[in-house]
């Protein structure tokens, strides 16, 4: 069997700090310290073994190049991408082309959002053709959901089932912001206050503080390490321009991610029915329905029915956002994009909390972005270097 | 001192007293200037005839640089809309309706629907432009027509 285009790139460590609405006494740098120490300890590597980094933080505006000196000033490869999957793809490409052997990617966010009268600052676009109409992230995604509901008759109850399923996962994850906060029913989602139609409060992602990271290296080195390896077997990025600068017209952005997913599946020799774990990006409940359609798990317009009857629950056919996702695990700056890869790693290496561990998964699909944001990146992972089923 | 040492206070200390006004760019200035004269402008390509919005330096369809500003009659339909209960900032009174408008010439823009509660709105509802004063600017909003 031939290797994937990524030539056996493996994730050998993944770590999340505790996630919370506010982490008292913590800032980006203290959180990053925790992540770096834990990743090295988990992988039994030293800082000298890391010959490439992409460590960044939004609030402190810590750029990867500045972060280099945190691990000493020796020569290393340095990444630039700040968005989760894209950063992992960039690092995997560096390893595949021989620029580096072992790369640490980490991200942290704390202390930015305090004003409760307005939506979170990163959700408020300053662009001239969106800001003055009172738009923000949730409203842009709502415009996509409303169009889908009008064209296909997708019901609010389907959105609510997605939100309830994901939020129940978060209830069981000890590191989640909503850990132990109670199971959520679709009825509770529909009864929560309206944010922007069709999204109720519980359809929307939370705001969080936290940090996380991972280490990737070659399969050969992974075999020499006493670490569980998870392989990157396919990836792609779809970008349509800057988010929130023009109308998210469904006819143009409704299938964003389709091209990226098709390429990723071709690289991996997989198809949607082969995927065991769906770590899809869940900024709003509807986006899960959209992604199942865009990636070819079901036909356009059928997503609302597709997710029904427990199909996306932990013990279902296509479990989604198994750590609680952006709705209840964490949404901290750009960290939550990297966390989609981290949770895929945790599922495939058997490191999830028992009640959230999918039974013997061999493949996972992680995604970032969505229709309202005019981009969608995807990554396929497997517990074998060649994933062909 | 380290280059990453935090120098400034929280980035979330805006004043939310006023509704935001557009900050035109060199490229978009003709659009916003026309709004002050109660006119809605979009770019049209002389080569392929397609309309372009938001403004671009050259035609993204045929990649010729023959874009020129054209006045739109400002009539179209609601492509999608959302009734917003959680405002962008406290300066907005809730609820308000944000929408994607599909102009009859085929181009789309984000806007607000005024003068109608969301319960009376539906996708494909006919609308026309109306210009609302905001500070020194005017904002192109839309209202229902028959």
CB-based contact A263:A41 (threshold 8 Å): no
Q: Is residue A23 located within the same domain as residue A155?
A: no
Share the mean pLDDT of chain A: 94
How many Å apart are CA A206 and CA A19, to the nearest integer?
11
The pLDDT tens digits for A30-54 are: 999 999 999 999 999 999 999 999 9
Asked whether residue A19 falls in the same domain as residue A145, the answer is no
Given CB atoms, is B96 within the 8 Å cutoff of chain A? yes
- From residue A98, how far is each of A77, A109, A360 by CA, in Å? 10, 31, 33
B64 touches chain A (CB under 8 A): no
pLDDT of residue B1: 29
Residue A114: pLDDT band with limits 50, 70, 90: low
Could you report how far apart the first and last alpha carbons of chain A are, in Å? 11
Chain A residues in contact with B118 by the CB 8 A cut-off are 197
Cα–Cα distance between A192 and A182 in angstroms, integer? 15
Interchain pair A67, B4: CB under 8 A: yes
For A277-328, what is each residue's pLDDT tens digit? Answer: 999 999 999 999 999 999 999 999 999 999 999 999 999 999 999 999 999 9
| Residue A271 to residue B93: CA distance in whole angstroms | 48
| pLDDT at res. A387 | 60
Whether A89 and A220 map to the same domain: the answer is yes
**d(C-alpha B68, C-alpha B30), whole Å:** 10
pLDDT of residue A257: 98
Averaged pLDDT, A76-87: 95
Does B106 fall in a domain? yes
Number of CB atoms found within 10 A of residue A287's CB: 28
Residues A100 and A150 in one domain: no
List the structure tokens of A105. Answer: 């990617």
Mean pLDDT of B42-57: 96
pLDDT tens per residue, range A242-265: 888 899 999 999 999 999 999 999
Residues of A in contact with B81 (CB under 8 A): 143, 146
Kindly calculate the radius of gyration of chain B based on its CA atoms and give it in whole angstroms.
Answer: 18
The model's pLDDT over A323-334, given as tens digits with 9 standing for 90+, comes to: 999 999 999 989
Which residue of chain B has the CA closest to A150? Answer: B123
Is A201 within the bounds of a domain? yes
> What is the chain B residue with the closest CA to A69?
B2
> What range does the domain containing A349 cover?
125-205+233-382
Whether chain A has a CB inside 8 Å of the CB on B24: the answer is: yes
Chain A with chain B: Cβ pairs closer than 8 A: 138
Query: Residue B83: which of A118, A196, A250 has the nearest Cβ?
Result: A196
**Which pLDDT value is given to residue A115?**
59
B13-24 pLDDT per residue, tens: 455 778 999 999
- Look at B98 and A135 and tell me if their CB atoms are within 8 Å: yes
Q: Is the CB of residue B49 less than 8 Å from the CB of residue B61?
A: no
Same domain assignment for residues A339 and A273: yes
State whether A241 and A270 are in the same domain. yes
Which pLDDT band holds residue B82 (cuts at 50, 70, 90)? very high
H/E segment holding residue A233: strand A230-239
**Whether A319 and A191 share a structural domain:** yes
**Locus of tokens 């952006």:** A326
Domain assignment present for residue A320? The answer is yes
Cβ separation A142–B20 shorter than 8 A? no
Query: A114 contacts in B (CB within 8 Å)?
Result: 10, 12
Q: Report the complex ipTM.
A: 0.93
Name chain B contacts of A146, Cβ cutoff 8 Å. 80-82, 123
Whether the CB of B106 is below 8 Å from some CB of chain A: the reply is no
- Other beta carbons within 10 angstroms of residue A73's beta carbon come to 8
The answer to whether A130 faces chain B, any CB pair under 8 Å, is yes
Specify the CATH number for the domain of residue A159.
3.40.47.10
Residue among A201, A187, A267 nearest A235 (CA): A267
- Total tally of structural domains belonging to chain B: 1
Within an 8 Å CB–CB cutoff, is residue B92 touching chain A?
Answer: yes
Express as a percent the part of chain A with pLDDT over 90: 83
Token pair in block for residue B113: 């629907």
Residue of B1, B2, B3, B4 for testing the chain A interface, max A β-carbons within 10 Å? B4
Looking at the structure, tell me whether residues A296 and A150 fall in a common domain.
yes
Is residue B10 predicted with pLDDT exceeding 50? no
- pLDDT confidence of residue A145: 98
Residue contact A131–B53, C-beta within 8 A: no
What's the full length of chain B, in residues? 146
pLDDT band for position B7 (cuts 50, 70, 90):
very low
Q: Is residue A3 part of a domain?
A: no
Distance CA A328, CA A334 (A): 16
Chain A 67-96, residues with CB within 8 Å of chain B CB atoms: 67
Q: Given its phi and psi angles, is residue B20 left (phi above 0), alpha (psi -120 to 50 degrees) or beta?
A: beta
Residue with tokens 């408020």: A124
B34 has a chain A CB within 8 A of its CB: no
**CB A117 to CB B89 under 8 A?**
yes
B84 touches chain A (CB under 8 A): yes
The confidence score (pLDDT) of residue B146 equals 79
**What residues in B contact A118, CB-CB < 8 Å?**
14, 16, 87-90
With respect to residue B13, please indicate whether it lies within any of the assigned structural domains.
no
Spell out which residues of chain B touch residue A200, defining contact as CB-CB under 8 Å.
none
Give the CATH number of the domain where residue B120 resides: 2.40.50.840
The residue segments making up the domain with residue B129 are 29-144
Q: What is the pLDDT of residues B51-81, one digit of tens each?
A: 999 999 999 999 999 999 999 999 999 999 9
Say yes or no: A374 and A307 in one domain: yes
- Domain match, A64 and A146 both: no
Number of structural domains in chain A: 2
- Max Cα–Cα distance, chain B, nearest Å: 65
Nearest to B12 among A112, A129, A144 (CB): A112
By the CB < 8 Å criterion, does A249 face chain B? Answer: yes
Within a 10 A sphere around the Cβ of B40, how many other Cβ atoms?
A: 24
Beta strands in chain A (DSSP E): 9-16, 52-57, 77-78, 102-109, 194-196, 199-200, 210-218, 230-239, 277-279, 363-370, 375-382
Structure tokens at A255: 């299938």
A101 pLDDT band, cuts 50/70/90, is: very high
């Amino acid at each position: 069997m031939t290797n994937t285009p990524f030539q056996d790139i493996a994730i050998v460590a993944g770590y999340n700090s505790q996630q919370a609405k506010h982490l008292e006494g913590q800032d980006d740098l203290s959180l990053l310290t925790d992540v770096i120490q834990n990743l090295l300890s988990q992988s039994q590597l030293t800082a000298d073994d890391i010959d490439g980094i992409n460590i960044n933080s939004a609030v402190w505006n810590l750029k990867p190049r500045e972060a280099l000196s945190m691990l000493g000033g020796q020569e290393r490869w340095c990444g630039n991408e700040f968005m989760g999957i894209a950063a992992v793809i960039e690092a995997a490409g560096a390893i595949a082309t021989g620029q580096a052997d072992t790369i640490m990617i980490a991200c942290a966010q704390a202390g930015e959002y305090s004003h409760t009268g307005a939506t979170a600052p990163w959700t408020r676009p300053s662009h001239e053709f969106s800001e003055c109409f009172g738009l923000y992230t949730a409203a842009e995604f709502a415009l996509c959901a409303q169009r889908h509901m009008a064209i296909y008759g997708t019901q609010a109850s389907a959105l609510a089932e997605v939100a309830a399923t994901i939020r129940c996962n978060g209830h069981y994850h000890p590191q989640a912001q909503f850990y132990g906060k109670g199971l959520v029913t679709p009825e509770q989602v529909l009864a929560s206050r309206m944010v922007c139609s069709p999204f109720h409060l519980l359809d929307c992602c939370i705001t969080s503080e936290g940090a996380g990271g991972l280490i990737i290296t070659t399969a050969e080195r992974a075999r020499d390490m006493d670490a569980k390896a998870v392989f990157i077997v396919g990836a792609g990025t779809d970008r349509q321009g800057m988010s929130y600068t023009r109308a998210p017209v469904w006819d143009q952005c409704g299938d964003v991610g389709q091209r990226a997913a098709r390429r990723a599946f071709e690289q991996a020799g997989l198809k949607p029915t082969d995927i065991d774990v769906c770590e899809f990006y869940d900024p709003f409940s509807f986006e899960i329905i959209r992604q199942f359609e865009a990636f070819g798990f079901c036909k356009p317009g059928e997503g609302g029915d597709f997710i029904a009857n427990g199909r996306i629950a932990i013990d279902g056919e296509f479990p989604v956002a198994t750590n609680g996702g952006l709705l209840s695990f964490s949404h901290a700056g750009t960290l939550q994009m990297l966390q989609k890869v981290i949770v895929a790693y945790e599922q495939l290496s058997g490191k999830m909390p028992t009640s959230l561990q999918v039974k013997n998964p061999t493949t996972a699909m992680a995604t970032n972005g969505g229709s309202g944001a005019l981009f969608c990146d995807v990554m396929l992972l497997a517990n074998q270097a060649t994933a062909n089923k | 001192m380290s280059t990453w040492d935090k120098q400034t206070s929280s980035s979330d200390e805006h004043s939310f007293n006023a509704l935001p006004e557009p900050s035109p760019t060199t490229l978009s200035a003709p659009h916003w200037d026309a709004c002050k004269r109660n006119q809605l402008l979009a770019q049209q390509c002389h080569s392929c005839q397609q309309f372009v919005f938001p403004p671009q330096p050259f035609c993204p369809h045929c990649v010729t640089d023959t874009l020129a500003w054209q006045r739109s009659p400002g009539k179209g339909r609601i492509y999608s809309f959302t009734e917003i209960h959680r405002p962008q900032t406290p300066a907005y009174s809730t609820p308000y309706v944000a929408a994607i408008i599909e102009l009859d010439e085929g181009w789309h823009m984000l806007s607000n629907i005024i003068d109608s509660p969301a319960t009376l709105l539906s996708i494909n509802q006919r609308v026309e432009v109306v210009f609302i004063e905001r500070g020194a600017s005017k904002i192109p909003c839309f209202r229902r027509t028959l």
